[in-house]
């Protein structure tokens, strides 16, 4: 074997990358792992082709030598896998989760993860009925249940000797409790400090509600991803974004979303408008039909145009429904909304379906960062896929590669829009 550069190929087995999926986080973890497997095999084949050509060697012999090297350096006495074929890395860690009837959780790691780079997945907004305790019980878990399950799992992974612990949280829990209005706690910051004290080195999340949360960490790193490219990719299927195409205006649903919608306006090269709302913060929104909005005004013009508005999250959805109805009243031909984190709490799905039947909006573009089953049945909802983005980030972190072009996706958005 005369291929010293090849024998350290990071895309062949064994890999130190490991995934632990908490109850509720399995669905998103499975989707990400599907991308990881494809990416690893694709990169392995590319590297194999380049090296075999450079060293003028047979590709099958090269793969055999790589597998031999990996077998020699594994600590396992029993070696498995094909000799002359690519071996797909095993990502999932065998883990047993126990849910006790008093509400307590226990996590037990069933295989050795000492020295491995572990990514723990949790979807705290997964409120579907979950099968627990090996199929013996079914339970709908709250956000607090998911957070506690996550903490117990972090501790189990740390106790098992993982060299590095990263959290994959498509939704950062308690992100709306990021600033004080009175004698209240900063729960988003509190959770961050707990993660840090438990040895978490990195958190990967999507469109975190406030940058103030990022600034609360002293040691852990937050990789805040954005779904803008995936959302625009779906938008191009709905409207013609070319210069002589549909007359589209980007509308910020409130002052807090101006930066987000300014980004879309710049990327799409479309005008920006804004809805200004006066709120009564003494009222707490209970469902999609009740809001704390006292009055609403439009800064800009949407008459005879397609209105596109984007926000980071949708809870009960009352605010968005009111904005959509208002834009239709102002003469918008179509109203399309993009939501990175579509929670649809309470009876929001039914309320939005009713609004759709009344013609108040055309489509809502969400993401699979929040797991839904019923929502996917409606024609007005489009589920954009961000699991590939998370997979790409995980691979680059694991192999110490740059994330710059993934965190700042303006260049690929520009290329996408130019195609139109």
Which tens digits make up the pLDDT trace of 274-328?
Answer: 998 776 666 666 555 566 667 788 999 999 999 999 999 999 998 899 999 999 9
Domain contains 315: yes
Domain contains 373: yes
Percent of the chain exceeding pLDDT 70 equals: 92
Domain contains 164: no
Instruction: Give the whole-angstrom CA distance, residue 264 versus residue 267.
Output: 5
Residue 77 has pLDDT above 80, yes or no: no
Average pLDDT over residues 56-71: 88
Q: pLDDT band for position 8 (50/70/90)?
A: very low
Average pLDDT over residues 37-51: 91
Taking the alpha carbons at both ends of the chain, their separation in whole angstroms is 50
Name which of 13-17, 91-95, 143-147 the model is least confident about: 13-17
Give the DSSP per-residue string, 267-298.
HHT--EEEEEEEE-TTS---STT---EEEEEE
Residue 245 has pLDDT above 80, yes or no: no
Burial 144-165 (b: 16+ CB within 10 A, else e): ebbbebbbbbbebbeebebebb
Residue 2 has pLDDT above 50, yes or no: no
Domain contains 272: yes
Average pLDDT over residues 239-247: 82
Residue 1 has pLDDT above 50, yes or no: no
Residue 349 has pLDDT above 70, yes or no: yes
Average pLDDT over residues 397-415: 87
User: Nearest-CA neighbor of 366 among 343, 344, 340, 389?
Assistant: 340
Mean pLDDT across the chain, nearest whole number? 89
Domain contains 394: no
> Which pLDDT does position 6 carry in this prediction?
38
Which tens digits make up the pLDDT trace of 164-193?
Answer: 999 999 999 988 877 777 788 888 888 989
The total number of structural domains in the chain stands at 1
Instruction: Give the whole-angstrom CA distance, residue 200 versus residue 180.
Output: 26
Domain contains 223: no
Q: Report helix, strand and coil shares of the chain as percent, to nearest 5.
A: 35, 20, 40
CB 351 within 8 A of CB 287: yes
> Which pLDDT does position 81 carry in this prediction?
78
| Domain of 327, in residue numbers | 228-385+409-419
pTM of the model: 0.89
Which tens digits make up the pLDDT trace of 80-98?
Answer: 778 888 888 889 999 999 9
For the domain that residue 287 is a member of, what is the CATH number? 3.40.50.2020
Average pLDDT over residues 364-378: 95
> Which pLDDT does position 276 carry in this prediction?
87
Instruction: Give the whole-angstrom CA distance, residue 177 versus residue 213.
Output: 9
Domain contains 130: no
Domain contains 139: no
> Which pLDDT does position 389 carry in this prediction?
96
Residue 143 has pLDDT above 60, yes or no: yes
Which tens digits make up the pLDDT trace of 306-317?
Answer: 999 999 999 999
> Which pLDDT does position 238 carry in this prediction?
95
Residue 27 has pLDDT above 60, yes or no: yes
Instruction: Give the whole-angstrom CA distance, residue 330 versus residue 309.
Output: 14
Instruction: Give the whole-angstrom CA distance, residue 332 versus residue 334.
Output: 6
CB 178 within 8 A of CB 339: no
């Amino acid at each position: 074997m005369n291929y010293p550069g090849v024998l350290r190929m990071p895309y062949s087995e064994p890999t130190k990358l490991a995934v632990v999926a908490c109850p509720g986080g399995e669905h998103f973890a499975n989707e990400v792992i599907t991308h990881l497997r494809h990416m690893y095999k694709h990169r392995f084949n590319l590297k194999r082709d380049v090296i075999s050509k450079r060293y003028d060697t047979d590709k099958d012999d090269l793969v055999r030598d790589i597998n031999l090297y990996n077998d020699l350096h594994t600590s396992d006495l029993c070696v498995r896998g094909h000799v002359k074929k690519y071996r797909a890395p095993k990502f999932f860690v065998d883990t047993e989760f126990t849910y006790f009837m008093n509400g307590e959780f226990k996590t037990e790691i069933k295989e050795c993860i000492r020295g491995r780079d572990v990514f723990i997945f949790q979807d705290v907004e997964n409120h579907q009925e979950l099968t627990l305790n090996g199929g013996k019980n079914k339970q709908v878990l709250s956000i607090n249940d998911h957070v506690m399950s996550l903490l117990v799992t972090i501790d189990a992974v740390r106790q098992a000797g993982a060299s590095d612990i990263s959290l994959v949280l498509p939704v950062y829990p308690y992100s709306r409790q990021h600033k004080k209005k009175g004698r209240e706690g900063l729960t988003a910051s509190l959770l961050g400090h707990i993660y840090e004290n438990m040895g978490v080195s990195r958190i990967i999340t999507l469109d975190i509600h406030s940058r103030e949360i990022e600034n609360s960490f002293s040691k852990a790193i937050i990789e805040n991803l954005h779904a803008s490219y995936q959302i625009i990719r779906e938008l191009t299927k709905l409207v013609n974004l070319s210069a002589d195409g549909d007359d589209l205006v980007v509308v910020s649903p409130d002052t807090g979303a101006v930066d987000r919608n300014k980004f879309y306006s710049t990327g799409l090269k479309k005008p920006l408008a804004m809805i200004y709302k006066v709120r009564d913060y003494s009222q707490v929104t209970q469902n999609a039909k009740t809001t704390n909005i006292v009055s609403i005004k439009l800064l800009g013009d949407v008459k005879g145009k397609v209105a596109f508005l984007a926000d980071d999250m949708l809870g009960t959805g009352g605010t968005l429904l009111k904005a959509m109805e208002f834009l239709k009243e102002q003469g918008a031909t179509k109203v399309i909304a993009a939501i990175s984190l579509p929670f649809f709490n309470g009876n929001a799905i039914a309320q939005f379906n009713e609004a759709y039947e009344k013609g108040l909006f055309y489509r809502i573009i969400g993401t699979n960062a929040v797991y839904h089953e019923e929502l996917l049945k409606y024609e007005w909802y489009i589920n954009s896929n961000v699991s590939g983005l998370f997979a790409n980030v995980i691979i680059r972190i694991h192999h110490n590669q740059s994330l710059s072009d993934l965190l700042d996706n303006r260049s690929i958005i520009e290329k996408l829009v130019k195609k139109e």
